[in-house]
Amino acid sequence: MSKADNLLAVLWMLRSAGKPITARQLAEALEISVRTVYRYIDALCMSGVPVLAEPGHGGGFRLPESFGQVPLIFDPDEQKALLHAAAFAREAGYPHGDALERAVAKLRRFAGEDALRRHVEGFDVILSSPGSGQAHTPLVRELEAAVAESRTVRVVYRKPSADGPRARHIDPYGLVYWKNRWYVVGWCHLRGEIRSFRADRMTEAARTERTFTRPEGFSAREFFMKGILPDPHGNQTVTVHIRGREEAMADLCGHWYFAHVLAERSGGDAWFRLDETAIRTYAPYFLLPYGKSIRVLEPARLRKRLAEIAAELAEHHLG
């Protein structure tokens, strides 16, 4: 390991030991000489770390209790939270997974493997599409670097409605992870406007030498969510009354779309504010999986649309 890693290792061991630890114990754990341990202790002291030396039997080096408040040192709950967060990031295809694994390995080594294992074993993260984000990790890593460096990126992007992939240049303002997919939000030079693009529809992505300035105060998250969520307070919304079993209604009211447009709920009844476009297009498809556990009371046109879609499905599968 490098000197920096060894210094951090000594620091973690002093913090995690819970009692004074001798130079020989540190040397054996790190597979270095006792003389090197003393040099590291001196280096830590010179950098401002208050290493205390206790002489006599049972003595050794230790850190004062107050040193646990230093941001570099994490308490057991913070260590557990970091490992759990790493599990989420790993499954999501976090673009810097290799660096994340190195950090987790250091935490495991220097914070006490046995203590951490108790919190990690039995804690699993399973996405609805396992590994869906991981397949595009190199590409997402390139996009993230372009965002950080404010560099225009050239991508080859394919749209389902297009004949084939098409190259375009994008000024990436930010990355968004939504429902097991990565999206890049930025200025599209081809269309001359801010758009969002699915990373899994890109076959190539490469930074160019051209740079850009991100609009002040711009939020990729806000732009992205505004594009997929309706405005429940808009003038063109319609009240949708749905009644159903308690369990089904609880699930419906927690749905990522319907939770946003929920106006009121009382027992097995809920009222939502939807626009006409949603009623005609995607809202019925969100409701279909609930089957006979719910019933649309109003408006009648939403009930009719649900019936039409169900009839089309029946004809498709039986005809």
Q: Which H or E run contains 239?
A: strand 237-244
Determine, yes or no, domain membership for 128. Answer: no
Torsion of CA 240, 241, 243, 249, to 10 degrees: 50
Selection from 94, 173, 175 nearest residue 137 by Cα? 94
Which domain range does residue 144 map to? 134-227
Mean pLDDT of all residues belonging to the chain: 86
Q: Is residue 126 part of a domain?
A: no
Q: What is the CATH number of the domain that holds 22?
A: 1.10.10.10
Does residue 303 share a domain with residue 251?
yes
Beta-strand (E) ranges in 132-214?
151-157, 166-178, 181-188, 193-198, 202-211
pLDDT at position 132: 53
DSSP state at residue 21: B
pTM of the entire predicted model:
0.67
Q: 237 falls in which pLDDT band (50, 70, 90)?
A: confident
89 and 20 in a common domain = no
Residue tagged 């405005």 (tokens): 231
The CB-based long-range contact list for 96-102 (8 Å cut-off, 24+ gap) reads: 96/141, 96/144, 97/134, 97/137
The model's pLDDT over 199-217, given as tens digits with 9 standing for 90+, comes to 999 999 999 999 999 999 9
> Is residue 129 included in any domain, yes or no?
no
Q: What is the CATH number for 154?
A: 2.30.30
Same-domain pairing of 46 and 17:
yes
Residue 216 and residue 156 share a domain? yes
Say if residue 309's pLDDT is above 70. Answer: yes
**Number of folded domains that form the chain:** 4
Considering the domain architecture, whether residues 177 and 215 belong to the same structural domain is answered as yes
Q: What is the mean predicted confidence (pLDDT) over 136-165?
A: 89
Domain match, 241 and 299 both: yes
Buried b (16+ CB within 10 A) or exposed e, 147-177: beeebbbbbebeeeeeeeeeebebbbbbbbb
Same domain assignment for residues 222 and 152 = yes
pLDDT grade for 130, boundaries at 50, 70 and 90? low
CA–CA gap between residue 277 and residue 261 (Å, rounded): 14
290 has pLDDT over 60: yes
In a domain, 127, yes or no: no
Q: What CA–CA distance (Å, rounded) separates 215 from 303?
A: 44
Q: What confidence tens digit (pLDDT) does each residue in 23-70 have? A: 999 999 889 999 999 999 998 888 778 899 988 888 899 988 777 555
Sign (positive/negative) of CA torsion 76, 82, 85, 87? Answer: negative
Please indicate, yes or no, whether residues 152 and 218 belong to a single structural domain of this protein.
yes
The answer to whether residue 30 is domain-embedded is yes
CA distances from 206 to 93, 140, 267 (A): 19, 11, 53
- Please check whether residues 180 and 198 belong to one and the same domain: yes
59 or 290, higher pLDDT: 290
CATH number at residue 261: 3.30.70
Residue 216 in any domain: the answer is yes
What is the spatial distance between Cα 264 and Cα 270, in angstroms, rounded to a whole number?
6
160 and 203 assigned to the same domain: yes
pLDDT tens, residue by residue, 171-201: 999 999 988 889 999 999 999 999 999 999 9
310 lies in the same domain as 255: yes
